[in-house]
């Protein structure tokens, strides 16, 4: 048996009392001011990962040798609104909920028959950039999660009528040119390449923007902020560490420029049929 749990605190470090509470959950876990990690070859985590992420962390990754891949992300409400996320929720594979201060996303992929290699220690690091992308208005991670859930739903349910009536969510731009974290997410959630190609056919071209903000990009955006906004942010910064302040600032600076997603006009059945056609053509021409 193999289970790997990792949690990361990004917006603020854990204080000593919080670390002690986490130690009560696991005596063997590696706990620092910014992380909680543990590998189980027997037994299991006694805490609830959703509740732990709600209370202490901004990202959680879970990998098992029976094929479960799970990612939970927590963002401040000011950076990502729950109504924006809800159209991308599907079945139990993509879930979202809100606390008083945050929105949380729970993304899961299960593949009991898939290949598995022990060692997930670097996986969460490669996915962390998704938080900043979502905060800046890039909704591609949400659409990718919906695609993964759609493929899983097709395997679990043969009711074609449900696919006909299941609408496609808003289609973000740039699905044909994913960022590094988004490509990692597509692999982590096992998204079929043909299904992704089918989805990208309705995706507008994305404006070129670095996944991580650069000084050259941010300087003019900050210069355009009103003096009142700058004073407010500096005051909040001076009063002490505030969870989500950086994420909120990125959302203010970059989110306003994020292109609006195109309305979803296809049904789930149409997407699956297009992917099937692409797959058939690819195999007919001997392409892997």
* 55 Rama sector, left if φ>0, alpha if ψ -120 to 50, beta otherwise: alpha
Mean pLDDT by 10 residues, the chain (288 residues): 94 95 95 96 93 97 94 93 96 95 96 67 89 90 96 74 84 94 96 95 77 80 90 85 71 69 89 93 78
The owner of tokens 């056919």 is: 201
CB atoms within 10 A of CB 16: 8
* Domain extents in the chain: 3-284
Residues near 113 by Cβ (< 8 Å), separated by ≥ 6? 67
Inter-residue contact 133 to 172 (CB < 8 Å): no
The Cα–Cα gap between 242 and 228 comes to 19
- Residue 267's Cα: distance from chain center in Å? 23
Picking from 163, 130, 112, the residue whose alpha carbon sits closest to that of residue 275 is: 163
How many Cα neighbours within 13 Å face the side chain of 277? 9
| Dihedral (Cα; 224, 177, 183, 82), 10-degree rounding | 50
Question: Would you state the pLDDT for residue 29?
Answer: 95
Residue 266 CA: distances (Å) to CA of 63, 199, 203, 272: 32, 9, 12, 10
- What pTM, to 2 d.p., does this model score? 0.85
> Which class for 14: exposed (0-12), middle (13-18), buried (19 or more C-beta within 10 A)?
buried
Compute the distance between CA of residue 110 and CA of residue 90 in angstroms, rounded to an integer.
14
Spatial separation of the C-alpha atoms in residues 80 and 87, rounded to whole Å: 13
CA 90 from chain centre, in angstroms, equals: 14
Secondary structure (3-state) at 135: helix
| pLDDT recorded at residue 144 | 98
- What's the token pair of residue 46? 């006694």
Tell the residue number behind the tokens 């089918």, with chain if given. 198
- What confidence score (pLDDT) does residue 61 get? 97
């Amino acid at each position: 048996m193999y289970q790997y749990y990792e949690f990361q605190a990004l917006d603020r470090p854990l204080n000593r009392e919080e670390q002690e509470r986490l130690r009560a959950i696991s005596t063997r876990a590696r706990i620092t001011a910014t992380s909680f990690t543990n590998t189980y070859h027997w037994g299991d985590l006694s805490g609830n990962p959703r509740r732990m992420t709600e209370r202490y962390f901004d990202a959680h990754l879970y990998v098992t040798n029976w094929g479960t891949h799970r990612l939970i992300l927590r963002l401040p409400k000011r950076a990502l609104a729950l109504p924006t996320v809800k159209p991308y929720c599907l079945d139990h594979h993509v879930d979202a909920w809100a606390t008083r201060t945050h929105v949380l996303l729970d993304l899961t992929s299960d593949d009991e028959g898939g290949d598995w290699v022990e060692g997930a220690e670097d996986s969460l690091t490669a996915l962390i950039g998704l938080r900043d992308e979502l905060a800046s208005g890039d909704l591609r991670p949400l659409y990718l999660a919906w695609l993964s859930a759609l493929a899983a739903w097709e395997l679990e349910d043969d009711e074609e009528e449900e696919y006909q009536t299941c609408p496609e969510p808003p289609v973000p731009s740039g699905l044909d040119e994913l960022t590094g974290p988004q490509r990692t997410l597509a692999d982590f959630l096992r998204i079929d390449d043909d299904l992704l190609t089918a989805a990208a056919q309705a995706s507008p071209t994305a404006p070129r923007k670095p996944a991580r903000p650069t000084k050259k990009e941010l300087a003019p955006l900050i210069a355009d902020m009103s003096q009142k906004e700058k004073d407010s942010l500096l005051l909040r910064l001076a009063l002490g560490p505030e969870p989500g302040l950086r994420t909120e600032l990125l959302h203010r600076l970059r989110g306003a420029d994020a292109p609006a997603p195109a309305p979803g006009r296809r049904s789930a059945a149409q997407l699956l049929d297009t992917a099937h056609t692409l797959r058939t053509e690819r195999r007919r021409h001997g392409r892997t």
